Amino acid sequence: MSNISFLTDFLLLPLAETLELQLLHFSLFLGTYLAALLINGLIITAIACNDRLHTPMYFFLLNLSFLDLGFISTTVPKAMANSLMHTRVTSYSGCAAQVFLVVFMVGGEFSLLTVMSYDRYVAICRPLHYGTLMSGRACVKMAGAAWVSGFLNSLLHTANTFSIPLCQGNEVQQLFCEVPQTLKLSCSNSYFREIGLLVVSASLVLGCFLFIVLSYVQIFRAVLRIPSEQGRHKAFSMCLPHLAVVSLFSSTVLFAHLKPPSFSSPTLDLMVAVLYVWVPPVMNPLIYSMRNKEIKDTLKKLVQLVLIPQK
């Protein structure tokens, strides 16, 4: 029986065998990655440069953009390199680092989305207490707690996953190293220990999702009591982008990690991974900017400043 200490590398899922398809995949990955860098970079720049956007909502959106950039940078560059260099190999340490960062970003993003739902709840349901409950110090503490919770959750999963003996080969049936696919290589009873951790993490995620749902139930009840149509429209404009981001991210992550084994196949696992790893970093800032006039106006000014020469 092989032990994990004898493993020096892992083999990731091959996308194609021909050079033409490899170049096509590289181009798609590069386009997705550059789009995420550009869009999230613009959001970060807009929030940093406009004093009117120095509010709790945009502070959390700034953190979300940083998480999205870290999320996609953890997986896509390696996939691009593999496609271009016609290789499947990733080192043991590289695989462990990738597992750590993926779990870190997923956990951090879920926690941050929960905090953002609380911010929307306070803004609409308790507006008179908003300045107190969402002070600058409180926002920093909540954002810090989201990052720290993701870090601790990731540290726990990574340490446990890579302490399990792996004797089912070294082929990871995914474009990147992730906990569920790595666990399939285990032949130890400690596999069930990691399953227990996954159940705990899933419970925390579902708890966050339930908190978000309950927050929005209260929010929508409060919005429907607003007599002004313009007021209701403004409230919905503040909330709907966040709700769309939560729905997109949580549904794909939960399906990827909790789907029944009978539903699992390399093609399906690959499609789900693309949905929850690559789509949110590109779509999140688009969703927010499309529904937010202040961000759109700031982005237009930034583009004009760059493209139109100043006299």
- Return the pLDDT at 3: 44
Distance (Å, whole) CA 53 – CA 49:
8
Distance (Å, whole) CA 307 – CA 231:
36
Domain formed by 10-292, architecture: Up-down Bundle (1.20)
pLDDT tens for each residue of 9-25:
888 877 666 777 777 77
* More confident position, 5 or 59: 59
Is residue 38 predicted with pLDDT exceeding 80? yes
CA torsion, ordered 56, 65, 125, 244, to nearest 10 deg: 170
pLDDT tens for each residue of 277-301:
777 888 888 777 766 777 777 777 7
**What is the residue extent of each domain of the chain?**
10-292
What confidence tier does 69 reach under pLDDT thresholds 50, 70, 90? very high
Is residue 157 predicted with pLDDT exceeding 80? yes
What confidence tier does 4 reach under pLDDT thresholds 50, 70, 90? very low
Distance (Å, whole) CA 177 – CA 269:
12
Q: Express as a percent the part of the chain with pLDDT over 90.
A: 15
Distance (Å, whole) CA 109 – CA 55:
19
Distance (Å, whole) CA 208 – CA 200:
12
- Return the pLDDT at 275: 75
Distance (Å, whole) CA 250 – CA 302:
32
Is residue 29 predicted with pLDDT exceeding 60? yes
pLDDT (mean) for 103-111: 89
* Mean pLDDT, all residues of the chain: 80
pLDDT tens for each residue of 265-274:
666 767 777 7
Residue 274 CB partners (closer than 8 Å, separation 6+):
none
Token pair, residue 213, equals: 């749902």
pLDDT tens for each residue of 234-258:
777 777 777 777 877 777 777 766 6
What confidence tier does 260 reach under pLDDT thresholds 50, 70, 90? low
- Return the pLDDT at 146: 93
